[in-house]
A and B are shown apart, each in its own frame.
Chain A
Amino acid sequence: MFSGIPLLPEQASTLAADVDALYLFIVAVTAFFGILTTIAVIYFAAKYRTDDPLKVGARIHGSIPLELAWSIIPFLITIVIFAWASSVFFDLQRPPDQTLEIYATGKRWMWKFQHLDGQNEINELHVPVGRAVKVTFTSEDVLHSMYFPAFRVKADAIPGRYSSVWFSATKVGEFHLFCAEYCGTNHSGMVGRVVVMEPTEYESWLTGNVGGGSLAQRGERLFNDLACNTCHLGDGRGRGPSLARKFGASERLASGGTVPVDEAYVRESILMPQAKVVDGYQPLMPTFQGLVSEENVLALVEYVKSLRNQDVAVSRAGAPGESANPPAPQENR
């Protein structure tokens, strides 16, 4: 019965083995000190045991060298653990330059994933094996936490902010997806699976599940439906700044200073447009807070992102869907 219990969860990402190696190192260190101390206590208790309550112990008050030794040696060992653990942490936090981008939103009690090509999934995520995947996500209501035990990654989903996890799966198969931050009644039901597929299968899965164009195209439709395109003209002569070639660059602000144009800034500009107005423009844009869901914000963000390599964009009002744009890049950076 017990032989069936694994001691480590499945290792299914490039970093899982690193985390496990560190884990086993700490197991070894703590086991050594734990067993050493336990043996000492049991040995002393047995050896110096007496039933005579009037006997007294030896007159020992302490030893400075010993105190120093068992302060400094454990400290040095913890420094080793700290350094190693921090390096693993940085690997977990720092995605490689080329990642497959996926967006997600958490809401009670489901995870909704959006692929760049327009596929949507709920509580299920299909990814190719052997490729770095970065999931960028936020929450629509309360705190959640996206957790893939097999990949050893986890990050809280926080309303109002973007978080991300990245991993590169090494094994084809199905693995758990959990919500790790308590979020109310059905917290333990906010689970799903990540399906890791061979690249070819993944491609066919992608083509078999296309619905309504790519994420960037959906963003473009929204861009037009919300009449963003009436001001954000492609040539920069509109009432709002052109969005072409903006993403990834930095923007001068009317209040002085600059801001890097990233997911967070685009999101903020949609929901709190007057927070950081671009230099040379009037604060005319209305807020879209409450009008656009987090998923649609992500679509708009992806659309703005897709414009980064274009010379002229976004001037064809009234042409939703039938895009002359090159397909949105699937890979980010």
Chain B
Amino acid sequence: MSDAIAAHAGAHAAHTAHAVHHPDLQHHFDSLEQQHEAATLGMWLFLITEVLFFGGLFLAYTLYRIWYPVAWAEASRELDIVLGAFNTAVLIGSSLTMAFAVRAAQTGKQRATVVWILLTMALGLVFLIVKYFEYKEKFEHHHVPGPNFAFEGPQAGPAQIYFSLYFLMTGLHATHMIIGFVIMAVIAWMAHKKRFTPEWYTPVEISGLYWHFVDIVWIFLFPLLYLVDRAGHFA
């Protein structure tokens, strides 16, 4: 992905797109078609590694949830379900705007592409701001694992595991969001410079894949972390 973007950055602006001698066609590819396929395939493969990357944490999560259902129930209740649900909606919304950004690029609407990407970034920012306040609250309540960790009751040990996983999972997710935010900024700039055409919009598309993936991770994190035992089954 970075390849395609960087390659593009090095190439001169493409006002007159032509399939054979397109300025964005790198020398080692035969056609834009081949280049596009390679780039999207590469992105999908990268996302596969991301699935397994988060997968290790999902394994730890599953194991400890089976072992410590009560601690999971109690610790999860410390999270604010309203903020969690709000953020879920925000992120799904950003996926929608991202899908529209790709669509605008596909149909050659440069200005609309910029607008949709800026909207996506705005929603991403909202998500991160909400996340910041959630983290802040955790710091204040000493729910950050480590020497200062405090948790009422007998489940303090396993609850610390829960919060370790909470911070690792959401922290990594937020890191991905920030990276996505930077990528979006680059893409918005490129779109603003009218670098995309219906013949060549690969960077928009593969950045979109990445953004949607980050959304999917959250779609799993939300029920796993916020909705553990709201029905009061274990405590």
The answer to whether A273 has its CB under 8 Å from any CB of chain B is yes
User: Binary interface profile of B, 71-88, with partner A (CB < 8 Å = 1, else 0)?
Assistant: 000000000000000000
Docked Cα-Cα span, A35 to B117, in Å, equals 66
Docked Cα-Cα span, A183 to B154, in Å, equals 31
Q: Say whether B154 contacts A273, CB under 8 Å.
A: yes
Q: List 11 A-B contacts (CB under 8 A).
A: A255-B70, A255-B234, A272-B154, A272-B157, A273-B154, A274-B153, A274-B154, A274-B155, A275-B154, A283-B154, A287-B154
Given contacts A255-B70, A275-B154, A283-B154, 8 further A-B contacts (CB under 8 A): A255-B234, A272-B154, A272-B157, A273-B154, A274-B153, A274-B154, A274-B155, A287-B154
Docked Cα-Cα span, A273 to B155, in Å, equals 10
A274 to chain B: which residues have CB within 8 Å? Answer: 153-155
Look across to chain B and name the residue whose beta carbon is closest to the beta carbon of A275. Answer: B154
B155 to chain A: which residues have CB within 8 Å? Answer: 274
Within 8 A of B (CB), among A241-277: 255, 272-275
Look across to chain B and name the residue whose beta carbon is closest to the beta carbon of A286. Answer: B154
User: Binary interface profile of B, 130-167, with partner A (CB < 8 Å = 1, else 0)?
Assistant: 00000000000000000000000111010000000000
Docked Cα-Cα span, A275 to B155, in Å, equals 7
Look across to chain A and name the residue whose beta carbon is closest to the beta carbon of B70. Answer: A255
A255 to chain B: which residues have CB within 8 Å? Answer: 70, 234
A283 to chain B: which residues have CB within 8 Å? Answer: 154
**Min C-beta distance of A315 to chain B, whole Å:** 27
B70 to chain A: which residues have CB within 8 Å? Answer: 255
Interface of A is mostly: loop
3 closest A-B pairs by beta carbon, nearest first, are: A274-B154, A275-B154, A272-B154
B234 to chain A: which residues have CB within 8 Å? Answer: 255
**Min C-beta distance of A283 to chain B, whole Å:** 7
Docked Cα-Cα span, A274 to B155, in Å, equals 8
Number of interface residues of A (CB under 8 A): 7
Docked Cα-Cα span, A272 to B153, in Å, equals 11
**Min C-beta distance of B73 to chain A, whole Å:** 11
Docked Cα-Cα span, A287 to B154, in Å, equals 9
Look across to chain B and name the residue whose beta carbon is closest to the beta carbon of A277. Answer: B154
Docked Cα-Cα span, A255 to B155, in Å, equals 14
A273 to chain B: which residues have CB within 8 Å? Answer: 154
User: Binary interface profile of B, 197-235, with partner A (CB < 8 Å = 1, else 0)?
Assistant: 000000000000000000000000000000000000010
B153 to chain A: which residues have CB within 8 Å? Answer: 274
A272 to chain B: which residues have CB within 8 Å? Answer: 154, 157
Docked Cα-Cα span, A273 to B154, in Å, equals 8
**Min C-beta distance of B11 to chain A, whole Å:** 47
Docked Cα-Cα span, A283 to B152, in Å, equals 14
Look across to chain A and name the residue whose beta carbon is closest to the beta carbon of B153. Answer: A274
Look across to chain B and name the residue whose beta carbon is closest to the beta carbon of A274. Answer: B154
Docked Cα-Cα span, A272 to B234, in Å, equals 18
Docked Cα-Cα span, A255 to B153, in Å, equals 16
Docked Cα-Cα span, A275 to B154, in Å, equals 7
B154 to chain A: which residues have CB within 8 Å? Answer: 272-275, 283, 287
Within 8 A of A (CB), among B162-200: none
Docked Cα-Cα span, A273 to B153, in Å, equals 11
**Min C-beta distance of A267 to chain B, whole Å:** 14
Pick the most buried of A273, A275, A287: most chain B CB atoms within 10 A of its CB. A275
**Min C-beta distance of B43 to chain A, whole Å:** 38
User: Binary interface profile of A, 96-118, with partner B (CB < 8 Å = 1, else 0)?
Assistant: 00000000000000000000000
**Min C-beta distance of A3 to chain B, whole Å:** 52
B157 to chain A: which residues have CB within 8 Å? Answer: 272
Within 8 A of A (CB), among B28-81: 70
**Min C-beta distance of A331 to chain B, whole Å:** 33
Within 8 A of B (CB), among A178-215: none
Look across to chain B and name the residue whose beta carbon is closest to the beta carbon of A287. Answer: B154
Docked Cα-Cα span, A255 to B157, in Å, equals 19
Docked Cα-Cα span, A272 to B155, in Å, equals 9
Pick the most buried of B70, B154, B155, B157: most chain A CB atoms within 10 A of its CB. B154
Docked Cα-Cα span, A275 to B153, in Å, equals 10
Docked Cα-Cα span, A255 to B154, in Å, equals 14
A275 to chain B: which residues have CB within 8 Å? Answer: 154
**Min C-beta distance of A277 to chain B, whole Å:** 9
Docked Cα-Cα span, A283 to B155, in Å, equals 12
Docked Cα-Cα span, A273 to B157, in Å, equals 12
**Min C-beta distance of A16 to chain B, whole Å:** 36
Look across to chain B and name the residue whose beta carbon is closest to the beta carbon of A273. Answer: B154
**Min C-beta distance of A255 to chain B, whole Å:** 7
Docked Cα-Cα span, A272 to B154, in Å, equals 7
**Min C-beta distance of B66 to chain A, whole Å:** 14
Look across to chain B and name the residue whose beta carbon is closest to the beta carbon of A271. Answer: B157
**Min C-beta distance of B54 to chain A, whole Å:** 27
**Min C-beta distance of A328 to chain B, whole Å:** 31
Docked Cα-Cα span, A272 to B67, in Å, equals 14
Docked Cα-Cα span, A275 to B234, in Å, equals 12
**Min C-beta distance of B147 to chain A, whole Å:** 15
Look across to chain A and name the residue whose beta carbon is closest to the beta carbon of B69. Answer: A255
Docked Cα-Cα span, A149 to B133, in Å, equals 58
Look across to chain B and name the residue whose beta carbon is closest to the beta carbon of A289. Answer: B157
Docked Cα-Cα span, A274 to B153, in Å, equals 9
User: Binary interface profile of A, 264-308, with partner B (CB < 8 Å = 1, else 0)?
Assistant: 000000001111000000010001000000000000000000000
